Each structure stands twice: as structure tokens, then as C-alpha cells.
Structure 1
């Protein structure tokens, strides 16, 4: 039997984790560097499968070989969801709840936006913004203005006074079946995900609503594979903030907490392998490692599982994550208390947030 090859547009940490997840399945997963492309021919075969670890990539001979392959799964969807204008338009077309918004064009006036959406209006670049980048606040009290080069390149969104942020990771199979992980509770700091907790029984009442929303989106796109949906919780309702047509940071907890990780689930869907609802072995806390040097004390924690990305450490850069199994409340409290002693100031608030959920 010929080994199935899966090529990944991108060779960052998500590509590496997909490759790792493919090994037990006997899949040959090959992440490809598309940021430093070459003119080399990749040697793609007709039966090979193509996926991506990111929504956008530079055009080159390498990326064209992959993106123009007939087995590039979800090919047109990446660009559609990478643009916030077309992503938001899709949500409106499907009647999936999201924050009120509009395109910022040449005629848009600040006064009109404040009249429509209130004293604080969030502008988001249509493409390229992530981890809090590509955002600009219009504040009526400060008479903030629309940046000149943002017209037709940004959307305006009503500021949402949300209670908390949650995300749902699900998968859709080639025959249209959808299965899901439990909702994750997320904490962002300066626009960057710092920690996720899943599952939490108090989020159970929101699970059916979230699954219905993501099912509508994946079915509407005829999507195949793992997709993540980030939401604001406002009371007992959810509003979609962003969609990611790929494995996602807030699903990293599944590597430790479930018998099938999001990475394996994605590969199973792409290669039409058997899929069933992932079994949660135990609750888990995921801590993102942002701009910090590797500390081997982390793996001295009895419930700690480290994923280090071997990237140059820079301020604000994701360089790894730490999964903590939450078998007992006491175990979480002990591990978080240790991390509070070992980790820098920017981690004190996120670690306290985790402790509060387990107090």
C-alpha cells in the first residue's frame, strides 16, 4: 500500500504538529516553507492531499504548485475567510450572529460610525491582522480618526461588552458529518491568547448553540477538516468574533486532554479516515509561551506537557505552549502556584485567572 502524502502550506509550529500527528496514522505529512520559497519542483503526485496551516501566503512557484493542486482541500475558502469583509459577509448570509459591522470606504465618516455603533468603534484591517495587530480604535471622546490608508482596507465593528471569550473547534468529514470538542474558555492579553481551559461544566449550556453555529458555517462552505470559531459570550448568547479554517491555538489542549488531538482529527478528515467524537480523558489548561526563554522547570510539573517550537525568542512571539492536565483541583492549584514563581510579570494575571476557575 502506498503511503498517503499530505503537504502543508507552511512549516511553522502548526505544520510541525500536523506532521507529528500524522506519524501514528502512517501518513507522510510534509510541511513546506512558503515564506522562503525555492524554484524546486515538489514532486506532487495526483493522489497527494494539500492543506494549509495559515490563511494567507505569498505567491511563488512553490505555493502555486500546492495551491493549484486538484486535491488542495478547501482551496477557495482560505482567501474568503482571511478577508474580514468576506468572512463577515458570509456570517451575515448564513444568519450566524456576529458583532454589527460595515466596510470602511471612501465615504465613511467617523460621526456616522459613532452614530451607528456608539462612542467606541473598532476598526480591523481586512487582512493580515492577528494577535491584536491590524486594529485601530475610534474613540469619540478623543476624536480619533480613520487612518487614510485604511479606507476600503478595513471594516468597522461595534465594540462588544462581552462577559468572556470562548472557542469551539470542530471537524466536518467528506460526507458532511460534523463532530466537536467541548468549548474552551480563553483569556487574551493585548490581543494575544494567553491561556485556555477546557472542558468546563459551566460552559455546557452553550455547547449546543455553538455547535449549531459552526455546523451552519462548515456546511455552508462544504468545508472538510478542522475549523475553529472564536466567540464572545454575552449573557447566554454567543457572537462569532473570528473563524480559522485550520487547526487553532485554542485547540492545543486536545493534545493532552483528548484521545484524538485536533491535529490528528484534521488529518483523518482530509484523508477520509474513520472519525468519531473525540473522547475527553481529563480537563486541561493550556498556557501559551509568549516571548519567554525555555525553562526546563516547566517539565518538572507532574501534570505538565511542553511543546517548544524551536523559534527565536522575541517579544510577543509564540514560542511554545504548556498543557497541564487537570485531574484534580489541587493539582492545578499546585502547578499554577509554581508557575507564578517561575514566570515573568506578564503571566501573573493569566495564571491568577486560571486559579480563579479552579478555586
Structure 2
């Protein structure tokens, strides 16, 4: 008798997200196989198998060709839309979902035109690729800088938003169209890279209904199945969508410690057609991204720490792991932050100060 359901979930991509999907699927009896897109040997898929992805876009290789052409590639048509920021923004406009004012950078578009339409500070974003602060270029009227070569037709321009803070919503939609949500997450970005997340926060509860309504509208419009992340700017009492990720997301990693069903398990349940329920969130949760840090065994001795190490080569600016904490009381949070602060590079002092401000003040 099989130890698994008669179905394999293949993950296009074999990075840390694929590994965490695989880890979350083991207790469910689901066989999940992340696949390196450059693997020398192509996988053999069964007719009833399912394909999902840990990334928005991918080059054409023998592996990606086999996986993307399978009849059960979940959300296949949506990836092409979401991976192109021009198409993504156009869809949000069509659905009347609030986002930063923007326009396509066309062949004849000048910096002067962009400033006239979008303001003195304009952010260029590559239509495809670019994450963690990459693939972006600032145009400031005071600097009199022109649109750089190679960015016409290949980028969009956004108005700089003077936001109060950055939040994200992790949503889940099953094959029957039922939607489920985790609490809004407050995020800290440094140098364009997510450094820390906190959830739940009582003061963010007032924005939860509007955020759920926005993400529900998008997921239903594209008949989405699985986990989708919506990153937003909060400007006063309004949310503006910054980016959409059609997959499990870094800002939802805290759910591994802070919920009975993590975002990874939620995604597997939905794409595999297993029953899904509303996740229960417990305690005060925060996540610290490990960026360009060497592995340190002392992290394991920090009270309540849950380390996830990605087993990747350590390079400056590269996410190589994260640590989750799920704490009941402020004294416990204080102790954990004191202990971890001395074990992280000096550049994390601002991160720890931010966490103290959100969790203890």
C-alpha cells in the first residue's frame, strides 16, 4: 500500500520555497518534488500529477518545457500576466484595484514626460525579473537624469509613494473558490530587501477587511488556486497594491511558527485538492531574514527560535535563511530580541530596534 496519495505535486524550481513546500507536505501524505530548472534529466509526470511553481518566470529549458506543458499546471495562464509588470499593472487597473500611478516607458518616453505625468520622483521597474531591490532605477527631477539606455519598452514607471508603512496579505483560494486569509503582516525593507516581518498587530486589524476584499477580487477574477501574496503601501487609511506574487511569499514565513496551517501547507492543500480550512493564528509572531550571514549555531540557543537555513552559498545581499519566533508575552519577546541581537551582524541593529518598536512599545 502506498505511503502517499496517488498524486505527485511537482514544483517548478528547487530553491528554498520549493524545499519548504516539500517539508510542509510530508505530514499530509503528499509527495512533493521540487525540480531544478536546469536539471540534466527531465521528470516523468503522471496524468493525475499536479504542477505548481515557486517562481513567477523561468527560462525555457527541457525541464520547464515538460512541466509547463502538463495539463494540470495550476494557474499556468496567470504566470505570464503576473511576471510582466506591465500586464500586472494593467490587470489591477482593469479590476479597479488601487495601485501607484504608473505608465509604460515607451520608445519615445522622456524623463521630462515622466516627471510631468508622475511627479518629481519616479521609479523605473523592469517589466520582468528584478526583486529584492534589483531591476529598479530612480529618476529625480532635481538630478536632470534621462531614462537610461535599455529601459525603453522594457520597464514601467511608477510615481514615488510617500507611504506610512509596508504591509502584505497572504491569501488562499481552494479549487471550490473558497478564500482564506492570514492577518495582515507589517514588513521592514532595507536596501530593497525584506528584513523582518510582524503579525498579527492589533492596529492593522482595521485594514484587514479592505485588504481581503481587494485580494479576493483579484483571485476570483483569474480563478486562482493556492497561495497568493499582495504587497501594499499603507497611505493613511488607504492601501495601494505594490506587487503581487502568485506563490508562497517571504512575508508569510512567520506562519510556519505562528499558525496551525502554514502558508506552505495551505498551498499544497489547495493545489492537491485536499480540504482547506481557515488557519488559526497563535501568539505574537515575527520573522528575521538572514541576509548574507554565515551560519551560526548559537542562533539555536536563542529562546524560542526556529531556524530555517536554505543551504545556499552565502553572498552579500542574498537571503540564506530566516528565523521565526512565536511568543505569548512581551517579556519573552524582549528576552528573545536581546539574545538574537548580539548574534547578528551590526547592520541588524536597525532591524532589532524596529522589532522592539512594533512589539514592545
TM-score after normalising by structure 2: 0.97
Alpha-carbon contact 1:137-1:144 (below 8 Å) kept: no
CA offsets 1:64-95 (integer angstroms, 9 cap, x no match): 11000000000011121011000000000000
- In the alignment, which residue of structure 2 is the partner of 1:210? 211
Q: Distance in 1 between matches of 2:339 and 2:42?
A: 49
Q: Distance in 1 between matches of 2:31 and 2:155?
A: 39
Cα displacement (A) at 1:144: 1.3
Cα displacement (A) at 1:106: 1.0
User: In the alignment, is residue 149 of structure 1 matched against residue 119 of structure 2?
Assistant: no
Q: Distance in 2 between matches of 1:77 and 1:326?
A: 37
Runs of 5+ unmatched residues, structure 2? none
Secondary structure at the aligned position of 1:149 is classed as: coil
Secondary structure at the aligned position of 1:128 is classed as: coil
User: In the alignment, is residue 20 of structure 1 matched against residue 23 of structure 2?
Assistant: yes
Cα displacement (A) at 1:326: 2.1
Aligned residue runs from structure 1 range 1-359, under 5 A = 2-34=5-37, 36-38=38-40, 40-357=41-358, 358-359=360-361
Q: Distance in 2 between matches of 1:83 and 1:179?
A: 26
Alpha-carbon contact 2:302-2:340 (below 8 Å) kept: no
CA offsets 1:252-305 (integer angstroms, 9 cap, x no match): 000000000000000010011111110012221100000001111111122110
Secondary structure at the aligned position of 2:248 is classed as: coil
Q: Distance in 2 between matches of 1:102 and 1:41?
A: 40
Q: Distance in 1 between matches of 2:338 and 2:123?
A: 36
Runs of 5+ unmatched residues, structure 1? none
Q: Out of 338-347 and 267-276, give the one that drifted further.
A: 338-347
Cα displacement (A) at 1:102: 0.2
Number of matched residues? 357
CA RMSD of aligned residues (A): 0.9
Secondary structure at the aligned position of 1:148 is classed as: coil
